[in-house]
Structure 1
Amino acid sequence: MIFKRMRKFRVRELRLSSKLAITYVLLTVVPIALIGLYSYSQYNKSVQDPLGEYMPKFLNQANNDIEQHFQRLSELSELVWRSEHVLSILRRETKSDRTALEKDAAYINDFLSETYVNGSNPDVLGVYVLSGDQLYYSSRWVFQEQDWKWQLRRYGGSEPAQWEARLIQQGEAKLRFANNIPYVLIKKQLYDTDNRKLLGSMFIAIDLAFIDRIFRNIEPEDEGRMWLMSESGMIVYHTNSELIGTVDANKKSYPLLNGSFRTTGSDNPAMISLNQSSRGLILAHSIPLKKLTGEVDAAGRMNAVILLGVFLLTIIVFVYFSWKFIQPLKRLSGMMKNVEMGKFQVNYDLQSRDEIGTLATSLNSMIATIRDLIQKNYQIEIRQKEAELYALQSQINPHFMYNTLETIGMAVEEGETEAVVDMVTLLGRMLRFSVSNLSRSVTIAEEVQHVKDYLTIQKFRFEDRLAFEIVDQRAGDLQNLYSPKFILQPVVENAIKHGLEKRRKLEIQISIGQEFGARSGQVEMVFRIRDNGPGISTERLAELEKLLQNESFQHKSSQFGLSNVNARIKMMHGSEYGLQLHSIEGLGTEVSIRIPINAQPYENEQNELQG
C-alpha cells in the first residue's frame, strides 16, 4: 500500500506551499553555513574598511589644500612684473661698473624684502632671483652652507623656458636654514613675453609649517602618523620632524598610490592610506591595525547578530516568493536585457492570466511600439544632425570675399603683380578647401594652412596693422592628425574684427599643443588663439560663457562665431571638449579650443554624407 502511494507521488502534483517548504529545507542549511563562514572571514576587514574608505578622501582634500597653497605661493613670482625698475635691471644686457651693480642689487633686494619677505606672506622664508651672473635675495633666515649661492646657481642653469613652477625639496637642494626649519623651494622662471627672453629664475623658500595646520584638520588617531613625500620616496614633511629629508624605504613596495591597503608580514601590521596629487606629491597616513580592531569588537559582534537575523528573514521571504514570482520575472529580465542591447526581435509568450502574464503582454506590446518608433526617429535624427552640421560648415562670410577682391583690385591698379598673384593663389586655395571637401574632418595641417592663408590675405589688406605667428609646440606630424573642419578661421576672424576696431596694431598668436584634459581624462589637442585686442568686459564675458554652455542650435544659425564652433565640437566629441575664453579688458583675449587626438578621419563620414 505504501509503495503504491509513493508511485503515485509526483512533485508537480504538490501544492505550492509544500514546494516552498521543501525548497526552504534544502536551501537554508547550506547558505547559512556559507554566510556564517563568509561573515567570520570578513569581520576583521569590516572593522578596517571604514577608515580605508574615508581616509583617502581626507587625504585627497588635504593634498588639494597643499597643492592650492603651493600654487598660490608660486603665483607670487608674478609680483616682480609690477616694478618697471626691477624689470629694466633684469633686462639689461650690458654690464655696469661695480658701483652701479651694487646699487642695482640693493634696489632689487629691498624690493624683494618689501614685497615678499616683510609682506603679508608669513610662509615665505626667503626669495632669491638669479639673473645672469647676479644673485639678488632677501631672507628671514640664512643657510648654514657657505656655498649656498653656488648651490642655487646649479638649479638656475640654462634650461628652456618653462611656464610651470617647479618644487625643489629640502633633501634635493641639500641646503639647511640655520634653525633647521623644514622648507621647499619653488622655482619659477622669469620669462619676458614682451621681448621673448628668459630674464632669470626666482626661488621662493616656503616654510612647511602650514602643513601642520592642514594635518590638524584631519585629526588623525593618537597612534597615527602622517607624512608628505615625493615620487622618489623622499619625505618632504613628517609629523615626526626627525624623518624630514629621509627616504621612505617602504615606498617601492606600496601596491598603490591612491587608496588604502593593509601591510602584512610585519610585527606591527598597519593600515596605510595614500593620495598622490597632480604635482606628484604623495600624502600618506598610517595607523596600527590593533588600534582599529580594539575599538570596534563590540560593534562587530552586534553587526554579526543583526546580519544573521536579516539573513534568516530574507531566506524566509525568498522561499515564499521565489517559485511564484522570481522565475517568470527572470525570464522577463532576460528579455529586457536583450532589448537593452538593441535586440528588439523578442517575444515572451507566457500562458498566465495573473499580474505577471499581464505584464508580459504589455511588455511585448511596448517593445513592438518602441521598435517602430526607433526606426522612424533614427532616420529623422540622422537627417537632422547632418543638416545642422552642414548649416554650421557652409556659412562663409561674404564681407571677406568682397574685401579680398577689393584689395586685389587695388593691387592691380597699383601694378603690384606679385602681390596679386599671391592673393589670387591663396584665395583659390581657401575656396577649394571650403567647397571641395564634403567631409566633416580635415587634417590639422590642412586646417592650420587654411587659417594661415586667411591671415596672409588679411595681412595684404591691413599691412603693418596686423601681425601673426603660428607656433607648433608639439613634436610630430600634423598630417596624421584630424580635427573638425573650420574651427580656427571663425575665431581668428572674430579677433581681427574686434581687435582692429580699437587697436592701431593687432598681434595674433596661434599655438598648437597637447595637454592632459581634466574633464576628459585624456591627452587632448589644444589650439590657443591669443590677441592683444581690447579684451572683453566681465559682463560680456559672462554672457559668452553662458552662450557656450548652451549646446542647443537655436538662435545660432546667423553667426559663425565662437558659439557656432563650440556647439559643433561638442556635438561631434562630447561636452568635455569645446572652447574656453580667457580675457582681460584692455589687455587682450585668449581662446582655447580642445578636441580629442584623432589619428583617423571620422569613420564612414563621407559615405554617411552622400547617403
Structure 2
Amino acid sequence: MKKKWSKFANIYKKLKLNAKLFITITLIMLTTLVFVLGGLQYSFSLYDEQLYAKSSQVLMMSSDSIEEELERVEEVNYNIAVDPQIQKILMELQGNVNKYDFYRLEQELEDELAKYVGSEKYIQSIYLFDLAGREFLAGSSSNPIKKTDKDLAFKQADKDDGENHWMVIDGNNGDLMSVRLIRSYENLNFERLGHLIVRVDLDKIVRDLPKPQGEIAGNIVMTKGNQIFYSEKGINLPKDYQLRAKNDQGYGIENINGERTIVNHIKTDFQEWTYWSIIPFNMMFSKITAAKYTLVSVFMFMFVLLITLGFNFLRKITNPILDLATTMQEVQKGDFTVVHSLDPSMSHEDEIGILYQNFKTMIEKIDELIQENYSKQLLIKETEFKALQAQINPHFLYNTLESINWLARTNKQEQISNMVQALSHLLRNSLSFKNDIITFKEELDIVSSYITIQKYRFDDKFHFQMDIPFFVAKYKIPKLILQPILENTFKHVVESSVDTSFIKLSAYQQEGKLFIRIEDNGPGIDPLIIQKVKEGKVKPRGTGIGLNNIDDRIKLYSGEQYGLKIENLSGKGTAITVVLPAQTG
C-alpha cells in the first residue's frame, strides 16, 4: 500500500500545474460531497424510519376502522336472526300455505329485511332462505349470488351452527358475505328456520377510510393466509404474486411489476386476516430523491464554477511559465531562435516578467558564445583535416617513386611509360586541395591508377577483384580513403607472401549507410593492436599514419558513429570496412 501511495505521489509531482489544480480541487470537492451526502443519508434514514412507523400506524388505524364496520354488520346479522317477527314468518312458512298467504308473508318478510338494509350504509343486500330454499331479498339485486357460492354458504352456516361466518366470494373483489344459520328461539327449541346472508361492499368501506395526504398514502390489500381476497383500486398485482407475512407486523421493500415498493403489513385476530399497505417507492421517496438530485446538481454546478474560476486565475500564472518551459525545451534541442517568439506582453515588472527578460538575455549570450565557438571549431577541424590529408601525400609518393626506380633498374622496358602515366594521374588527384570531398566513382579512378602501378610492380603475385553496384557511384566521400587501405594491404599481405594474394573491394548500402569492404587472404591484423596504437600504448611500424589517419578523417567528416572496422576472417585474412553516410551532398 505504501509503495502504491509513493508511486501516485511521484506521478502527481510530475504533472503540470493545471492538472495538479484540477486534481486538488476535485479531491476537495469530492471529500466535501462524501461528508455532506453521508450526513444527509443519515438524516434521510431517520426520516425513512419515521415514514415507516407512520405508514404502519395508518395501516393499523385503517384495519381497526374496517373491522369496526364489519362488526356492526355482524350485529345487524344477529339482530335479523333473532328478530321475533322474522322468526314468526319463517315458522308460518314451514306449514302448508296457499299462494295468497305466501305472497302476504313474503311481503312482510321483505319489508322487515328492508329496515335492516337501510340501517348500515355498507350493507349491499340481505338474502334470507327458508328451509324450503325459497329466497327473500332486500337491497340491491344487480349482482345475484351464484348457486355454488350459495351452497357453500349454507354448508358453512350449518357447520358453524348459528355463529356468524365471514365468507369471501371468489372473483368479486371486496364482496363479503356474513353468513348465519337461523334457529328458532321460541320456547328455546332451536329448530332450524333458514339461512341468512348479508352482503357487504368492502370496497366502499375502504374508500371511505380517512387517508393522509402525501408519501404515506398507500393502497390497501387484504389476505387470508396466502390468498388475496381484496386489493384496492389503483394497484395492479401480478396474478402469481403472493404476499407472505413472516410475523404479525412489519415492513419491507419488494419488487412489484418491476418497481421497488414499500410493503407494510399487520395481522389481526379478526378472521385471521392480514392487512397490507402497498406504497410505490417513488411515491414515498419522491421528495427525498428530488432533494438528493438537487443537492448533487448544485454541487456539480459549484464544482464547474470553481474549476472555471480557478483555471482562469491560474492560467494567468501557469501559461507564461508553460510558454517559458516549452521555449526551454526547444533551446535544449539546439534551437535558439525560439526566444524571439516569446510573448512580448510578458515583459512587465512582476516576477514572471523578470524571469522572461533574464532568460531571453541569457539565451542570446549563449547563442553568441556558441556561434563564436562553432566558427573556431570549424577552423580547427578544417586545419586538422588538411594536415591529416597532407601527411598521406609524401608517404605514398615516396613508395611510388621507389617502385618506379626499382622497375627501371630491373626491367628497362617501355612499361615504365604506363606506370608513369598512372602515377601522374594518381598524384594529380591526391595532391589537389581543390576538392576534399569527391564522388565514389572518382575515388575508384584513383584506386584503378594505384592498382595499375601495383600490377607492374608485383605482376601476377596478386589477384584484385571489384564488386561495386552502379548506384553507389554517386555518393560523396572524403578523398583518398581507399588507396591508403590498399597500400596497407599490399605492404602486409602481398609483399610478405610468396603465394598469390587475393584482394577484393566491394560496397553496399544498408539503413542509410554506405559500407566499403576490402578483404584479403593475408595473415590478419589484430584489432587490439590497432586500438593500442590509437591510444598511444604501442608504437606502430612505419609512419603510423595510414589506418589511424583514415579513421580520424572519416569521423571529422561524418561523425563519431562512422569510421573503420577491422575484423579477422574465420578462415585466413583481414576485412576492413569503411562506414560512411550514404549521401549525395
Q: TM-score range by the shorter chain?
A: 0.3 to 0.5
Please report the TM-score for the alignment, with normalisation by the length of structure 2. Answer: 0.41
